Homo-oligomer: A and B are copies of this chain.
Amino acid sequence: MGKVALGPQTLVYPMPAMLVGADVDAKPNFMTVAWGGIACGDPPMISVAIRHVRHTLKGIRQNQTFSVNMPSVEQVKETDYCGIVSGSKADKVRACLFEVFYGKLGNAPLIEQCPANLECRVVQILDLGSHSLVIGQIEETYVSEDCLTEGKPDVDKIRPLTYVTSPAARYQGLGEVAGKAWSVGKRLA
């Protein structure tokens, strides 16, 4: 087996398919973001990379708040749509029939149909080049009641959506369990 150098590429597997929300000019809008992840544990923070011109980023700058909504495999059409169309040209909430709710921050719109939601306050926005990296502190987490088991988030009920980057350029669910964390590796210790 050998290695082939392909030049610098944004090649991470897997990526989440997140719907990032903000009120833009007091109207809720959502965009699809696959570039981001948890940035800190205590306090809990998340980062999302967004192109400077995006409509949602305007709202994040206005309010210094945003949401991260995690769709299930059932919301694949809505997730893809929110990545194709700009909120400056369409009412995505209406097109997707999203039921929007607000939490403790008051102006970060959340999607009822998405099984897991994070409500975030902006900590820092870094200009890294083509993208702004928005780092937010997670102020509250919401999970749909029917996706809990004994009061805890149950990934088998959440059925999260992953984005597989180009050239595949497709969404997939999670597959077979490969092993238990903090456990399967002990055999090598």
Contact = CB atoms under 8 A, between A and B. Distances in A.
B171 A177 contact: yes
Given A47-B47, A179-B80, A13 B168 contact: no
Contacts of A143: 3-4, 6, 11
Q: Of A14, A44, A131, A139, which is in contact with the most chain B CB atoms at under 10 Å from its CB?
A: A14
Interface in A26-56: 34-47, 49, 51
Contact of A144 (B2, B146, B162): B2
A161 interface: yes
A164 B155 contact: yes
Interface of A: 1-16, 18, 34-47, 49, 51, 68, 70, 73, 76-85, 90, 95-96, 101, 103, 112, 116-118, 123-124, 126, 128-131, 133, 135, 137-146, 148, 151-156, 158, 160-164, 167-189
Given A3-B143, A42-B130, 13 more contacts: A1-B144, A13-B158, A13-B160, A34-B38, A35-B39, A39-B49, A39-B128, A41-B129, A77-B184, A80-B184, A81-B188, A95-B189, A175-B175
